[in-house]
Structures are given as structure tokens and as C-alpha cells.
Structure 1
Amino acid sequence: MPQPSAQVTAAEISRIAGVTRATVSNWRRRHDDFPDPSGGTESSPLYDLEAVRAWLASRGHASAASPSEELRTTLRLRAQGSSGTSDLLLLVLAAARHSLDELTALTELADADLAARVDGAVAELAGAVPGADAVHFAAADTAVLRALMLCVRDEGGHATLGVLAERELEDSAASGTYQTPEPLADLAARLLPGTPASVLDPACGSGTLLAAAARREVSELYGQDSLPVQARRSAVSLMLTAPRATVTVRAGDSLRADAFPDLVADAVLCNPPYGDRDWGHDELAYDPRWAYGVPARAESELAWVQHALAHLVPGGYAVLVLPPATAGRASGRRVRAELVRGGALRAVLALPPGAAAPLHIGLQLWVLQRPEPGGPERKSVLFVDTAQATADAGGGADHSTALQTRTRGGGRAAGLDWSGITEQAVGAWEAFTQRPDAYEGEPGIARAVSIVDLLDELVDLTPSRQVRASRADADPAELSAELTATRRDLVKAATSLGRAADSAAWSAAGAAARAWRTATASDLARGGALTLLRTVPEASRQAEKSAGGVRDAGVDGVVVLTGSDIARGSGPTGSPADLRSETAPVIAAGDVLVRGVAGGSGSAGGLMARVAGKEDAGALLGPQVHLFRPDPARLDAWFLAGFLGADDNIAGASSGTTVLQVSPGRLRVPLLPLEEQRRYGEAFRRVHELRAEAGRATRLAEDTARLLAGGLTGGQLLPSEETALAPRTKRVNSPR
């Protein structure tokens, strides 16, 4: 019997057709033959996907969806009796090993021939993915096979894998599975001294931490996860990321059923589940891993800490991402005391809220080292508080350096300056490891605390409490000089902000808002008005290396422009090591740069688009950043940037909910004469200056307030008699 078709929302129809949601609403009202809802509710109707596709085809609307969106749609149409998407994971790996031309040729085969070729390719990789059963594809599967190979060809294996994982996680009703952001994973990997040969992640999830280790040329990667779908995804992802490394991933609960009981690795990286009271406290009470004490039922995190230490070679390091309660909860005091007393805990580094889920709390990085018999005595523990490294705006996610993302409480996490956080954390850690007994620290940010001082009745390992005690050591004269310079810069910035706000770059349109006749960026690119460039996906590297406009990402001295650079309005700050590609487009002055990801409210949390200036020229284009190169004889760059980065435009060309993935070809631009474009462009340029000056003034105001508050509470600054005697209203209304 025929299987029922999948159902889609109006928003999904708009993505398939490459139009706005308003256009779909107009179709529903104006065309009597538009498909009737087949489900849902009156306010949120659902439509039969096959009926919608047939209607669009009858109207001449070819699909404008991206390859990943087409794959999502095809997966929804796949027969309901199929075995989810686990049978397709190996195909992603096999397809990524083919060239662009080979994948194109495969998609053109007849159904029976394609199924046979795919069966053979997958059979060669049998056993590479944990729990993957032998599969056999039939002619009925060829639609999804073609969509998958086209997605690998055009967007790369990682993007394709992400689509399959979305579907699997929905099917398994998994909850509480968070991906460790790449900047955080890279920071954790950089805290491992040297280059370890083998790294274990006993709660590997999608494999982000192990991928960060692979970027440091680790040759042996071991992972385990309790969710089979995560274990399978991690295995394939790591094989794509590190084809020369030995990858071993297993499914299962690491605490209850350790898949690597005899493994001692050079290093462990882990972001374990938090707050799990059902981690096996009763059945594991006599487990030999608890060398520092049996963790309490509420202390699953300390069980993971000791599990990591048990899998290290003597002298090996572990870095774990842990919630802040682990550092001070009363139930974990005895285990914390033994970790400190035994010299296993080397450092605790506090991260700002928003570094990783759950976004509303500031997580911590614990650096541990398995003691060596006869090794050096550990006399102190390093504490670092990176909360002051937060920036005023966010950048791109998933694979960008920061995301504007909803928190569980409904608020939003501020964007993070990952470059500043990493520099601060790694700099303090490296200085401490070089001379632990002579480390002087940095007032209010980093401090080495003696083990004797930590072993009190609380054994509180919260970094902010430990580094706060060092503020009194700051020199009053130095702090005063720094405050004076910062305040002077603030006054200059406020003056510049006033000038930018007074600039008259606009006037009222009249009784009604102006209506636009627009074209998509894809249409403009086909007409030669602009060129759309991107960082080359891994599956297409070799095919596009000779296409021009790209540079080897390994060249010394080259920097990368990231999504967070666009959001903050800063120059390029990324490293070529952050790229997943060997080649990337080179940015030229006058290019228009658009972030590839945004928060659920469009451009909230920072700029979405800007025109590349001289400081950007020569930098490489980072991941999740789209580059539009306009023909100056046909398109004004600032006009293009202003309309491409508009909230409504971004929302209409994006897919997703909490985090929006921007499809650059679907962004729309008004069709105006060049002279009129230039007038709009000048207005957008002044708006950009206003935003930049506002951001600079805000940062300086926050720095000034922080220095003042810290100096007053630390004793380096004293309130003046004039301030104490002045009326409160005067102090508010007449700032000096």
C-alpha cells in the first residue's frame, strides 16, 4: 500500500519555493487550487508535501531549497517503514571520499545501478560505525540517495551529517543532548600540554572535543556515548575530520559499562552530562575508580572527574567542562579536598555565561593531572576568571565563534569574545605550568592559591572567589593611571557618538512606505551583477582549488574573518586552524560580508552584514560567512550590505528556530538605478558608523565602571570629599 506523504508548514513551503512566507499566504488566498490543509490546526496548518510540490511544479516554481533543505524534505518523504537514517551514515563517509565529478556521475545513474553501487560502497566501510547493521538499498531509496550525495557534493560531509543527526535525534526523542561549541572545544584542547598521541572522550556526543584534538594532530581518538545515534554520528564526523587518525567510538554508558576498561590514554577531554542523580551511585559504590572518595548521589560530575583520571597515564592531563556548582557544593567537599590534597587538580577556569549550554550559567574548565609516582610535589592550584573577556556582541554558532542564542529562561546570551577568553585562559595556564611556584598572577583575573589555603571547611574552588582576594595587591598608582586613560577614551567616544547620531542621512517617505521590486541574490549572481563566494567544503576542495580567488589556509601570517568579527565590528581575529578547509576565498576591499548564522530574532546581538575595508583585505573568509562581490558598475556595496543585513531579509532567507541558518541565494535586493543605490548606500554607511561608535562607547563605559568599582572595593581608589558632599541629583544630571 502507498505510504502517506509527509506534511509541511507554510514556512517550509516558503523555503522550498524560495519565496517569503507572505507570498505563501497570498497563494493560499488568491488561488483556489492551492492544496487544502491536511493536518495541523487552524492557526498552524500542515500541508501534504507531494500535493504542494505538484502545485508548485504546475505553476513553474522550481525548487529553490538548498541541498541540505532538499535532503531534509526527501528524508521526510522516505517510506515510514525504513530504519531511520542510521543506514545513511556510512554513505556520507563513502560519498565524502569521492570527487565532485564522481558524485555528479553517481546521481545520474539509473535507480537499480545507483542502489547497487551504493551497496558496494557502504559494504566496504562495514564495522566503522558502532551499531550500524548491514544495510541494503533498493530502487525506492534512490531519491534520498541522490539528495544525500548532492548535499555532500555542494555543502560537504559535515553539513550532510548534521541533517541526518537532526532526524535521528527527533526520532529517538533524545533530550539534554548539547553540542560543545567549537571555540570551547578548541580552548579545552589547547589546555593539554604538548601533543598527546591518544585522547579519550567518555561522553563524546557529536565528537566536537575529539575533533578539536584531531586538529592538534592527535593520532588515536577514542569516544563513547550513551546515545547510539550520537556515537554513530561522532564516529563518522571524526573520520571526515581526521581521515589519517585511528578512530574508535563505542555506544554505552561509560560509568556503568565502560567500553575501554583497559585503556590508559595520554589525555581526556570531556563535557559530561550534568545533574544526573541516576548515574549508578549504588551499584558502583565499590568501584576502583573512586580513588579520591565515593561521589555522593548528587555529585555525578565528580564521578566523571575520577573516571577521567582513571583512564590517564601517569602524568597525563584531563580537561572537563563542568557546572559551577561542582566547585562549591557541600556534598562534594570531601572528594574536592582529596583531589586538591593529592595534587590531581591543577587549575579551575571560569567561563562567562553563554559559553555552552546551559547558557544562563557560567561553566568551568577543570584541568586535572594524574599524579606520577615520585613526581614533583604540587603546592598550588591555578584559578582564572575569564568573565571580563565577554564582548558586547555575538557572532555566528555552530561553527562560528559565538552565537546569539536563547537561554532556558527565555533570555539571550551575550556574544563572547572567544579570542580574548582563549588568550586569557591559555596565557595564564602556560605561565603557571612553566613556573608554578613563582607564578604572580593577574589581579582580579588569575591567581595561584596554595593547597594549604584551599583545604578549609568548605574547599570552595570557585575561581571568582579565589581571584578576588588578589585585588588588594594591585598598585593604586597603576590602577589610577589606567582608569584616567580609559575615562579619557570614553569621553572621546561619547563625542564621536554624538556626531554620528546628529548626522542627517534620512527623511520621511511620506504618507505610505515605499514598495520595492526585488530580485534574489541568486538572480543577481546569474545576471553577473555580483559573485557569491564561500569557504570550500571538504568534499569539493580538490575540484575548486584551481578555480581562482582562494588561498592555501596554511600560509603563515594569514588571518581569518569570522562571524563574531562581523557582529562586533572588529578586524579579522580568526586563525586558519579554525577552518575545516585547506582553501578559502580571499577578501578584497569592497566585498560585502554576511554572517551565515543568526539568533532567532534575526540580527539581534550584533551586525549581520558589513562592507570589507582595508583592514579586512587579504584575510581569508571564515566558516559560516558569505561573501558577496558586487560589480561596482551595477551595484553599490553599502547599498547591498544595508539591504542584505536587514532583519526581515535575514528572517525570510533563513531556516531554523533558535539559531537561523542563512541561505545567501535567497536574500533579496531592491532593483534601483545606481545613482539611487549610492544615496541609500551613503545612508547605510552612516548607520554603520553610528552602530560602531555606540559599541565602542559602550565597551569603554563598561571598562571604566569596572575599574572604578574594582578600585573602590579593592582599596586602591578612595571617594573624593567633593563626591561625598555633592547633591545626588547633581551627580546624576551633571556628570563631570
Structure 2
Amino acid sequence: MSTTGSVPVSLAEIARIAGVGRAAVSNWRRRHDSFPTRIGGTDVSPQFSLAEVERWLRDNGKLDAIGGRELLWPRFEALGSRDESGLAIAEAARRMRSPHTHTPQVELTTEAEALAVEAAKLGQDEGTRETFEFLLQRWLETHVRQLSTTPPPLAAMMARIALAVRAEGTGEELTVLDPACGTGHLAAAAVQEYTGGNVAVLACERDPALAALASARLAFVADESDARTEIATADALRADPFAAARADIALCNPPFNERDWGYEELATDQRWTHGLPPRTEPELAWVQHLLAHLRPGGTAVILLPPAVASRKAGRRIRGSLLRTGVLRAVVSLPPGSAQPHSVSLQLWVLRCPPAGPDSVTPGQDALLVDATRFARAGTRETGPRWEALQAFVLSAVQALDHPETELPDGSVRVPLIDLLDDEVDVTPGRYTSASTEPSGLELAASWKEVGSILTDLARRARRLAELEFDTGRPQTTVGVGDLVKAGALSLRAGQQPPDDAVTSGGDTVPLLSVTDLLTDGTPSGRVATGSAPAVVEKGDVVVAGVVRAFRAWVHEGPPTALGPQLYALRVDPAKLDAHFLAGCLRAPSNGRQAGTHASSSSRVDIRRLQVLQLPLDEQAAYVEVFRSLGEFEARLGHVAGLGGELVNDVSDTLAAGALDV
């Protein structure tokens, strides 16, 4: 694949293109005089010409096993405009599905159109759906601050809720509506979750780039199912393209807190059967828009900010939704379920009463579900505990029409008389707080997990016990300082960044401190890119040079700045394996030998830490054992924490008198 122009790429992008770690790219740059020179950026974050990088990688045999997608993406990013690159990806997807297309469906620049053609050709070779999803995901990651998407696990859960709560339809086709579809996550999830036959998807998006990408995504989904899709580019509130349509299920993640949603021009709109939404309550306009498009028995699930459940301006509409029986359930999600990640968002479940003599009468109890306890506290993993969250929420909403069914802990049926007060607050946390005592099913699941981990630990212990050691054989070691002098590795010390480097705007990187290591290990600060002298990249070895937190590990996450008493070591892969180095350095005896031991805050002299002198091919055997030992330690720590929580949970349950005797 050829490239044109001086498209800039970073060291991280070069590593992705070549399929190696960033440390390897840094070493290529240091060891090879022919490596392309920097065309921009800073010393810490340099940028290079994609054309020159591609040529160098090909000339040096570094692209043999790597596909062309990584080479293609920087050129999409270099288009500059979010809309231009998004429309080019959508056009590429259209050409992938229709290879003989010659005329673009949207107006593109000459460069963007040529890039779409090239991407379509690549998709034919490397997989059309896979290539499109790769480009779409990279586009979403690049513009994450400008876009709000529905995470796939949440989209799947919303679709399952809607399908579980809706009254059984009589038609042969399920109609799905999403009036603010973004890039089509919710509509795609509905098609994938429905197994009952044909599906018709009606979706709308006012942003042309998002609408084009949604159309492309749903076209691929339709190719794999019996779905037919219709995507309109329009503002569904102001100019509804599906005004006469009625849906079996409706899913929506609408824009939040928009004051300019059409309050004046829509004041007499017939959709407001529960009252004109106040100017400050656009979310309640979306709620009534969904209800206006549901056929009898149809269900809508909408993602809303928590304030919609309690704001004074919307209490009259909330009261009407409750009195008419269409607001069936409210679910409080854990923070981190979707953007904005710091907020506990809510799912509102709405259902039009089924037609006929068996229809549900207004005035039912409302189901309120508090699922906030399924957040991942103190962990680097993003999002809540999706599997447990989905099981809990679905078990609650499936009992919606079965009052005799016992609800899981954390959910409650609230009579209307308790909700229709002066506030009409439907926040689940006001009426139910999940008990700290787990249910029998949760205890059983925890015991099962503990048993599984213990079985795995026993297997690992047997393998480690089979290792044979020859402690009498002399081994030579070399200090880190000598390895630095020999060029086998480089050493950089972390520092406290200046006050003006800690910013909230511009490009920043996480800042890791010793204090963070003593808590949950998650970086608690951020500093401006280029302001920190020690920034670790994937494949670097990090060493904590203080006795109380002494450890060494290979960094696997995004670029991270290091604070005081933390050190970054970057190896020459021709001489040292990073995992071998980390395994040798973190030996407790090594830390004791290099530390002063005056107090727990004493420093460790990093240059005095010792490393075995072994040829590179012999280091591999040690790396395998170091990895096994690290995995054993991690599993041991996990089962210790889980076992401690389980003991506490069972003790609380016993103290509450719940033992069946």
C-alpha cells in the first residue's frame, strides 16, 4: 500500500503498524541511523512521516506479518475534520459491500474519496466487516471527547430488557425504533438479541457523519440477519421522519441537557400527551417521543441522567407517566456504565398498555431497581461488572408482571400512593438500598468462584513445585548501573512535575506516584504531555525505589508519567528481555541488598540492583517461570481478598439469623 503526503505518526502508532512494543521502536530509532528523522512533535512525543516510516519498515522486513489496517488509519486521521474522516469511513464501507460502486454517496474531498476507495480494496482482502469495525473503533477512540456512544454491553442489556418486557406481538416482523441512533450501537444490539424472525429497524440521527456510519454498520448487520434497515438524517424531535410509524420496541440514548431542543416551535405538538416538557427537560421530550411511536404492548428503554427522576420542573409529567401506568420501571446503573462515566445514569422502562380486554389497567406499582453496587471499585478495568449487572437487572424486570415473584435484593415494587407526592421522585435509591448481606445465589456464586480459583492455584502450585534448583552452581550478576553503561538498558528517574504542568486542558498523560502504589495502583493525577522527564511506554520496566513499596513490573498500559522515587528502564531487546529484567529486579533479596533499611521510607539504590548474566536465549526459560510465579501471586491475592469478603458476608448473614436449621 502506498501513502501520500507527510502524514504524521507517533512512536505508538509506528509500534501498532509494526505489531511490536513501543520500546522496540525506540530501540530501532536509537540503533539504526537510517530510521526516519522526526518531522514534528516534541522530544518526548516525536512525530514521523508515515510514508518514510512505511518505506523503512518494508526495507527492514518489519511488515511481513502485519495487515494494512494500521497503515491505513493514520491517513484517515490526517484528514483533520471529524466529519470528513467519518464520512470517508462510511463511504469505504459502502464500497466494500458494493465493489462496483463508482460514484460516492456523499460529497467528499478528492483525498478522502481516494482513501475510501483504497480502504474498500483493503477490506476485500482482509475482511469487509472487520476492516470497517476497525476503522470505526479507531475513529470513535480518536473523537471520544466529542461523541457519546452506548457501550456494547449496555446496548445489549437495554435490548434484552425491551424484548423481555414487551407484550408478545402478533406480527411476523419486529419493528425497532431508535430516534437518536448515533453510530447504531442500540439498533445493532436489538437485531442481534432478537431471535424470533424478521426485524425492521427505523433509526434517525441528525449528525450526517454519525448517520452515515450507523447506516454502514446496520447494513453489515442486515447482511447477517433477516433485518431491513432505514436510517434517516434528521432531528427526530423537530422533523420526525417516521411520524406515522409504530414500533414494538424503542431504544434511545438521547443527547443530555440540551436547552435548544425545539421548545418554542413544538409547543402544540400532539406527542405531549403527558404535558409540554419544560425548556429545561429535553429528556422528557424524548420520553414522550418514544411513547408516541409505540404500538399497544410496545416497550421503550431510554438512558437518562439521574436528575430527570427528581427535578422539580418535570414532576407533573412524571406523575402522569405513573398514573397512566406507562412508566413501569427505573433502574439506577453503576457509575461508569456510559458517558458521563462519573454519573450513576438511569434506565427508564416504558410500556404502552396492550390493547384488548386483558390490557393492564393504570395505577400499577412501579418497579425501582438500584444496581449501583455492581461498580468495579478500586480497579483499573473500565465499566461495571457487566455480567453480574445484566443478570441482576434482567431478573428484576422479568418479575415486572408477576407480583407473586420475589424480587432480588436491591429492587422493590413501590405503590403509586408513595410516589405521587409533592416531589414525584422516582430515584430508586430513595426507596431501596441494596442490603450489604448478599443473597443465597450471590453467596453460592462466590463460593463457586473461590473453589475454582483454589483448584487453579493447586494446579499452579503442583507445576511450580516440580521446578528443580541447583543452588550450588555459581552465577554471575551485574548491576543495573553497569547495564546502563554497557547500553543494555536506559534509566530515567521520575520527578515531581511543576505545578503548571498539572492541567485540565490540552493533551495529558496519567501520573503515577508511590502513594498510588500503596493504595490501588491506579494513577491519581495527570500532567501535560511533554512536561514529565520519565514517561513509561508499553514494554518498559518500572521500579519503585522505596523500601515500603519496592516492586518491579513490565508496564502494559498507556503512556504514564512517573513521580518521585519511581524509575523507568527501557531494555535493548537484542541483549535483555524486559520480563526477565523485571523478574530479577523484584526479588526481595535484591531490594534488601540495595536498600538502606533505615526506615520504611528508605530509598533503594536502583543502580545497585543485580541482574543475572545470561544469554538472551537462556533468559526465556526464566521468563516463563517468572510469569508463572507472578500469575500464582496474583491469583493468590485475588482469592485472599475474595475469601475475606466471603467470610465477612457469611458472618453478617449468620449474625442476622438467616441460618436454616
- Shorter-chain TM-score: what band? 0.5 to 0.7
- Report SS of the residue matched to 1:51: helix
Cα distance in 2, alignment partners of residues 706 and 167 from structure 1? 44
What pairs with 1:238-387 in structure 2 (closer than 5 Å)? 238-243=218-223, 244-372=226-354, 375-378=359-362, 379-387=364-372
**Residues 708, 252 of structure 1: alpha-carbon distance in 2 compared, 3 angstrom cutoff:** farther
**Residues 482, 83 of structure 1: alpha-carbon distance in 2 compared, 3 angstrom cutoff:** closer
**Residues 168, 424 of structure 1: alpha-carbon distance in 2 compared, 3 angstrom cutoff:** closer
Contact 2:95 2:117 in 1 (8 A): no
Cα distance in 2, alignment partners of residues 325 and 294 from structure 1? 18
**Residues 689, 149 of structure 1: alpha-carbon distance in 2 compared, 3 angstrom cutoff:** same
Contact 1:34 1:55 in 2 (8 A): yes
Report the CA distance between 1:430 and its aligned residue: 1.5
Corresponding residue for 1:133? 106
Corresponding residue for 1:448? 413
**Residues 385, 347 of structure 1: alpha-carbon distance in 2 compared, 3 angstrom cutoff:** same
**Residues 84, 143 of structure 1: alpha-carbon distance in 2 compared, 3 angstrom cutoff:** closer
Contact 1:92 1:152 in 2 (8 A): no
Cα distance in 2, alignment partners of residues 79 and 451 from structure 1? 53
What pairs with 1:258-657 in structure 2 (closer than 5 Å)? 258-372=240-354, 375-378=359-362, 379-390=364-375, 404-405=381-382, 415-416=384-385, 418-433=386-401, 435-436=402-403, 438-442=404-408, 444-468=409-433, 510-512=477-479, 647-648=554-555
Q: In the alignment, does 2:147 pair up with 1:177?
A: yes
Report the CA distance between 1:422 and its aligned residue: 1.7
- Report SS of the residue matched to 1:313: strand
User: Could you list the per-position Cα deviations for residues 510-529 of structure 1 after superposition, in whole angstroms to 9, with x for gaps in the alignment?
Assistant: 444699xxxxxxxxxxxxxx
Tell me the TM-score normalized by structure 1: 0.59
Corresponding residue for 2:641? 698
**Residues 35, 360 of structure 1: alpha-carbon distance in 2 compared, 3 angstrom cutoff:** same
Q: In the alignment, does 2:145 pair up with 1:145?
A: no
Corresponding residue for 1:616? none
User: Could you list the per-position Cα deviations for residues 437-475 of structure 1 after superposition, in whole angstroms to 9, with x for gaps in the alignment?
Assistant: x34423x4221111112111222212222223x969x9x
Report the CA distance between 1:90 and its aligned residue: 4.4
User: Could you list the per-position Cα deviations for residues 105-144 of structure 1 after superposition, in whole angstroms to 9, with x for gaps in the alignment?
Assistant: xxxxxxxxxxxxx4x3356xx8xxxxx3378989x96676
Contact 2:443 2:646 in 1 (8 A): no
Corresponding residue for 2:157? 187
- Report SS of the residue matched to 1:219: strand
The alignment of Structure 1 onto Structure 2 pairs a total of residues equal to 520
Letter in 2 for 1:425: V
Letter in 1 for 2:267: A
Overall identity of the aligned pairs, in %: 32
Cα distance in 2, alignment partners of residues 169 and 676 from structure 1? 37
Contact 1:96 1:157 in 2 (8 A): no
Corresponding residue for 2:40? 39
Cα distance in 2, alignment partners of residues 492 and 17 from structure 1? 42
User: Could you list the per-position Cα deviations for residues 628-663 of structure 1 after superposition, in whole angstroms to 9, with x for gaps in the alignment?
Assistant: xxxxxxxxxxxxxxxxxx8546769xxxxxxxxxxx
Cα distance in 2, alignment partners of residues 388 and 294 from structure 1? 35
Report the CA distance between 1:222 and its aligned residue: 0.7
Corresponding residue for 2:601? none
The runs of 4+ residues in structure 1 deviating greater than 6 Å are 77-80, 134-138, 140-143, 481-501, 503-509, 599-602, 667-676, 706-712
**Residues 74, 144 of structure 1: alpha-carbon distance in 2 compared, 3 angstrom cutoff:** farther
Q: How big is the alpha-carbon RMSD for the aligned residues of Structure 1 and Structure 2?
A: 4.9
Cα distance in 1, alignment partners of residues 476 and 367 from structure 2? 60
Corresponding residue for 2:186? 209
Report the CA distance between 1:276 and its aligned residue: 1.8
Contact 1:180 1:271 in 2 (8 A): yes
- Per chain length, whose mean CA-contact separation is higher, i.e. which structure has more relative contact order (CA < 8 Å, sep 6+)? 1
- Gap regions ≥5 residues in structure 1: 98-117, 127-131, 395-402, 406-412, 516-598, 607-645, 653-666, 718-736
Cα distance in 2, alignment partners of residues 210 and 494 from structure 1? 38
What pairs with 1:216-255 in structure 2 (closer than 5 Å)? 216=194, 217-243=197-223, 244-255=226-237
Report the CA distance between 1:274 and its aligned residue: 1.6
Report the CA distance between 1:343 and its aligned residue: 0.6
Letter in 1 for 2:372: A
Letter in 1 for 2:320: E
Cα distance in 2, alignment partners of residues 512 and 368 from structure 1? 67
Corresponding residue for 2:129? 157
Cα distance in 2, alignment partners of residues 693 and 8 from structure 1? 41
**Residues 422, 357 of structure 1: alpha-carbon distance in 2 compared, 3 angstrom cutoff:** same
Corresponding residue for 1:574? none
Q: In the alignment, does 2:70 pair up with 1:69?
A: yes
Contact 1:346 1:382 in 2 (8 A): yes
- Report SS of the residue matched to 1:320: strand
Contact 1:204 1:225 in 2 (8 A): yes
Contact 2:92 2:119 in 1 (8 A): no
Corresponding residue for 2:6? 5
User: Could you list the per-position Cα deviations for residues 526-571 of structure 1 after superposition, in whole angstroms to 9, with x for gaps in the alignment?
Assistant: xxxxxxxxxxxxxxxxxxxxxxxxxxxxxxxxxxxxxxxxxxxxxx
Cα distance in 2, alignment partners of residues 674 and 59 from structure 1? 23
User: Could you list the per-position Cα deviations for residues 249-297 of structure 1 after superposition, in whole angstroms to 9, with x for gaps in the alignment?
Assistant: 1112211222211111111011111222222223322222111122222
- Gap regions ≥5 residues in structure 2: 484-508, 521-552, 560-576, 581-613
Cα distance in 1, alignment partners of residues 641 and 631 from structure 2? 15
**Residues 198, 13 of structure 1: alpha-carbon distance in 2 compared, 3 angstrom cutoff:** same
Report the CA distance between 1:693 and its aligned residue: 3.4
Contact 2:328 2:350 in 1 (8 A): yes
Report the CA distance between 1:680 and its aligned residue: 4.9
Cα distance in 1, alignment partners of residues 321 and 478 from structure 2? 71
Contact 1:497 1:697 in 2 (8 A): no
Letter in 1 for 2:213: R
**Residues 238, 265 of structure 1: alpha-carbon distance in 2 compared, 3 angstrom cutoff:** same
Letter in 2 for 1:133: V
Report the CA distance between 1:24 and its aligned residue: 3.6
Cα distance in 1, alignment partners of residues 447 and 393 from structure 2? 29
**Residues 286, 143 of structure 1: alpha-carbon distance in 2 compared, 3 angstrom cutoff:** closer
- Report SS of the residue matched to 1:121: coil
Cα distance in 2, alignment partners of residues 240 and 349 from structure 1? 32
Cα distance in 2, alignment partners of residues 25 and 49 from structure 1? 16
Structure number with greater Rg is 2
Contact 2:149 2:185 in 1 (8 A): yes
Cα distance in 2, alignment partners of residues 498 and 3 from structure 1? 54
- Report SS of the residue matched to 2:398: helix
Corresponding residue for 1:22? 23
Cα distance in 2, alignment partners of residues 700 and 366 from structure 1? 36
- Report SS of the residue matched to 1:431: coil
Cα distance in 1, alignment partners of residues 293 and 215 from structure 2? 20
Report the CA distance between 1:41 and its aligned residue: 3.5
- Report SS of the residue matched to 2:431: helix
User: Could you list the per-position Cα deviations for residues 151-182 of structure 1 after superposition, in whole angstroms to 9, with x for gaps in the alignment?
Assistant: 45435415424515755996xx7954222122
Contact 1:71 1:151 in 2 (8 A): no
Corresponding residue for 1:563? none
Letter in 2 for 1:154: E
